[in-house]
Amino acid sequence: MIEVNGKAIEWEEGMTVENLLLKMNYTFPKIIIRVNGEIVAKELWGSFEIPDRADVHAHHLIAGG
Amino acid sequence: MNSSVEKMRASRKELARYDYKPASIERGYSGKTLYINISDQTIKSKDVTDQMKDIFIGGKGFGLWYLWNAVQPETKWNDPENEIVISSGPVGGITQYPGSGKSLVVTLSPLTNSVMDSNVGGFFGPYLKFSGWDALEIQGKAEKDIVILIDGDKGTVTIEEIDFQPGASHLISEQLTEMLAENEKDKMHISVVSSGSGAEHTNVGILNFSFYDLRRKAARMKQAGRGGTGTVFRDKKIAALAVKYSSLTGRSNNPADPAKISKTGVKITREINKFDNEQFRMRQIGTANLMTPMNDYDLLPVHNFKYGSHPDAVKISSDVLRDRFTQNMPDGCWIGCSLSCCKAVDNFELKSGPFKGEKVIVDGPEYENAAGLGSNCGIFDPDYVIEANFYCDTYGLDTISTGTMIAFTMECYENNIINKEITGGLELNFGNAAAAMELIHQMGRGEGFGLIVGQGVRRMKQIFAEEYGADPSFLQDIGMENKGLEYSQYQAKESLAQQGGYAMTNKGPQHDEAWLIFMDMVNNQLPSFEKKAEALHYFPMFRTWFGLQGLCKLPWNDIVPEGNAQTDSPEKIPEHVQNYVDLFNAVTGKNIDKEEMIRQSERVYNFQRIFNLRLGFGTREHDAAPYRALGPVTVEEYESRAERYDKQLEEDVGINPAGLSIEEKIKAMRKYREERYETLLNVVYKRRGWTENGIPRPEFVRELGIDFPEVMEVINKYI
Cα gap B129→B103, rounded to integer Å: 10
- Nearest CB to B280 within list A26, A59, A63: A63
Are the Cβ atoms of B524 and A5 closer than 8 angstroms? yes
Torsion sign, CA atoms B173, B174, B180, B182 = positive
Which regions of chain B are under pLDDT 70? 1
Amino acid identity, position B131: S
Task: Check if B6 contacts A (Cβ < 8 Å).
Answer: no
Contacts of B524 in chain A (CB under 8 A): 5-7
Probe site for chain A from B524, B557, B559 (most A CB atoms < 10 A): B524
Probe site for chain A from B317, B319, B494, B518 (most A CB atoms < 10 A): B518
Q: Identify the structural domains of chain B with CATH numbers, from first to last.
A: 2-244 (3.60.9.10), 276-486 (1.10.569.10), 496-559+592-716 (1.10.599.10)
Give CA separation, B277 vs A44, B285, B339, B364, B560, in Å: 21, 10, 11, 19, 12
Which CATH number describes the domain made up of A2-60?
3.10.20.30
Cα gap B479→B583, rounded to integer Å: 42
B238 three-class SS:
strand
B38 in Cβ contact with B238 (< 8 Å)? yes
> First-to-last CA distance in chain B?
60
B455 in Cβ contact with B448 (< 8 Å)? no
- Nearest CB to B557 within list A59, A60, A63: A63
Cα gap B71→B83, rounded to integer Å: 8
Domain spans of chain A, in order of start: 2-60
B32 in Cβ contact with B157 (< 8 Å)? no
Contacts of B525 in chain A (CB under 8 A): 59
Are the Cβ atoms of B524 and A6 closer than 8 angstroms? yes
Give CA separation, B422 vs B155, B470, B524, in Å: 54, 13, 46
Our CA-based measurement puts residue A43 at a distance from the nearest CA of chain B, in whole angstroms, of 14
Measure CA B131 to chain center: 25
Task: Check if B280 contacts A (Cβ < 8 Å).
Answer: yes
Closest to B608 (Cα-Cα) out of B705, B537, B689, B711:
B711
Amino acid identity, position B319: D
Give CA separation, B436 vs B206, B410, B418, B427, B620, in Å: 19, 9, 15, 9, 35
Rg of chain A over all Cα atoms, to the nearest angstrom: 11
Task: Check if A65 contacts B (Cβ < 8 Å).
Answer: yes
> First-to-last CA distance in chain A?
34
Give CA separation, A4 vs A17, B294, B498, B531, B548, in Å: 11, 20, 21, 19, 39
CA-CA-CA-CA dihedral for A6, A7, A13, A17, to nearest 10 = -60
Residue A65 has pLDDT above 90, yes or no: no
Measure CA B507 to chain center: 10
Are the Cβ atoms of A60 and B279 closer than 8 angstroms? no
Are the Cβ atoms of A64 and B560 closer than 8 angstroms? no
Cα gap B367→B486, rounded to integer Å: 16
Mean pLDDT of chain B: 96
Measure CA B223 to chain center: 8
Closest residue of chain A to B556, computed from CA coordinates: A63
Our CA-based measurement puts residue A50 at a distance from the nearest CA of chain B, in whole angstroms, of 18
Contacts of B226 in chain A (CB under 8 A): none
Is B260 exposed, middle or buried, given 0-12, 13-18 or 19+ CB atoms closer than 10 A? middle
Contacts of A58 in chain B (CB under 8 A): 522-523
Per residue, what are the HEC states of B675-704? Answer: HHHHHHHHHHHHHHCECCCCCECHHHHHHH
Written as one string, the DSSP assignment of B326-360 is --SS---SSTT-SS----EEEEEEP-SSTTTT-EE
Q: Cβ contacts of residue B647 below 8 Å, gap of 6+?
A: none
B168 in Cβ contact with B118 (< 8 Å)? no
Residues 23-42 of chain A whose Cβ lies under 8 A from any Cβ of chain B: 25-30, 32, 39
Closest to B547 (Cα-Cα) out of B149, B164, B174, B87:
B87
Q: Cβ contacts of residue B469 below 8 Å, gap of 6+?
A: none
Q: What is the DSSP letter of A48?
A: P
- β-pair partners for B19: B156
A13-36 burial string, b = 16+ CB within 10 Å, else e?
eebbbeebbeebebebebbbbebe
Are the Cβ atoms of B279 and A64 closer than 8 angstroms? no
B290 in Cβ contact with B317 (< 8 Å)? no
Cα gap B545→B58, rounded to integer Å: 10
Report pTM: 0.97
Amino acid identity, position B304: N
- Nearest CB to A27 within list B279, B296, B524: B296
Other C-beta atoms within 10 Å of B359: how many? Answer: 10
Are the Cβ atoms of A57 and B523 closer than 8 angstroms? yes
Amino acid identity, position B374: G
Are the Cβ atoms of A59 and B523 closer than 8 angstroms? yes
- Is 0.90 exceeded by the ipTM? yes
> What are B566-576's pLDDT values in tens digits?
888 888 999 99
Are the Cβ atoms of B280 and A64 closer than 8 angstroms? no
Contacts of B488 in chain A (CB under 8 A): 65
B612 in Cβ contact with B506 (< 8 Å)? yes
